[in-house]
Amino acid sequence: MGAKLALTLLALAELCACVTAQENTTDYWMDKAEEFAYNSSFEEVISSLDEALKTDPGNETILIREALYLGIVGKVNESSQTYEKALSILDEILLKDPDDAEAWQKKASVLGSLNRRNESLAAYEETLEAFNRRIEKDSKDMDAWIGKGNALLNLGKWDEARDAYNEAIEVDPQDYRAWG
């Protein structure tokens, strides 16, 4: 009986350790933030994103999301500071890889959120060029066509955006992103 109890307690302890380990992952906290967002529990979203940043402090995507929610709850100064942190990380990424179209796209969006319109438009132009270079290398790169369309939309080039999305549809007619 004592051995059974000891094995049961050991198994329970191991299970608890697994649950605790799972709760300390970036993905876990990002999922929690999403759950709270669906319930409009924005303070809890921010707390969950803070926990995610403890596990991955250099993650610009988490910072951008947190800055958005800080703005939603009226913490404008904190929001701006968080966007600036994300911008700093994006600048480092782009120093290492100036052809990183997704980083350019995030940078353009962050600059727009900071009301730096001219810089944002310039970053969208860089985004567009980076996606064009990817398309030159691989004309079947669905993500590049979609990204190009999105960049063109942000630049107000509606007809060209439609053409890029049509190209994406040609590549993969089943991919919903281009149809949207």
pLDDT digit string, tens, across residues 169-179: 999 999 888 88
Both 91 and 149 in a single domain? Answer: no
Amino acid letter for position 84: E
Q: Does pTM top 0.85 for this prediction? A: no
Give dist(CA 53, CA 89) in Å, integer. 13
**Given CA atoms 67, 70, 76, 78 in this order, what sign does their dihedral have?**
negative
- Read off the pLDDT of each residue in 127-147 and give the average, rounded to a whole number: 97
Both 4 and 81 in a single domain? Answer: yes
Percent of the chain whose predicted confidence (pLDDT) is above 90: 83
Structure tokens at 125: 């132009």
Report yes or no: 146 and 168 within 8 Å, Cβ to Cβ. Answer: yes
Domain end, chosen from 73, 96, 119, is at: 96
CATH number at residue 11: 1.25.40.10
- Read off the pLDDT of each residue in 87-115 and give the average, rounded to a whole number: 98
Domain that holds residue 107: 101-180
Give dist(CA 180, CA 163) in Å, integer. 14
pLDDT of 11 > 60? The answer is no
